Copies of this chain bind each other. A is one copy, B any other.
Amino acid sequence: MSVAPRWVEAINKALSHPDNKGKVIYQVATVDARNVPHVRSQVHRAFMHPEGRPDLPLLVTSTDARSPKVAQVRANQRVELAWWMEGSQDQFRLSGFVRIFPSASAPGDSSSTPIPAGAVAFKTLEEQGFDWDAKRVEVYNSMSPGMRASWCSPHPPGSALASTDEQRSWPSKVPSEPESEEDRKNAETAQNNFALMLFEPIEVDWAALGVLPNRRTVFTRDGDKWNEQTVVP
The chain A residues found within 8 Å of chain B, CB to CB, are: 22, 25, 27-31, 35-41, 76, 78-82, 84, 86, 91, 93, 95, 150, 153, 155-161, 163-164, 167-168, 170, 172, 205, 212-216, 218, 229-233
Give how many copies assemble into the complex: 2
| Given A25-B84, A38-B80, A38-B93; 17 other pairs, CB 8 A cutoff | A22-B86, A27-B27, A29-B37, A29-B80, A31-B36, A35-B35, A35-B78, A37-B80, A41-B84, A157-B231, A157-B232, A159-B232, A160-B230, A160-B232, A164-B230, A168-B213, A170-B213
In whole angstroms, how far apart are the Cα atoms of A216 and B155 in the complex?
14
Q: Is the CB of B41 within 8 A of A82?
A: yes
Q: Which residues of B contact A36 (CB under 8 A)?
A: 31, 78, 80, 95
Q: Is the CB of A213 within 8 A of B172?
A: yes
Distance of A107 from chain B, by nearest CB (Å) = 14
In whole angstroms, how far apart are the Cα atoms of A159 and B157 in the complex?
40
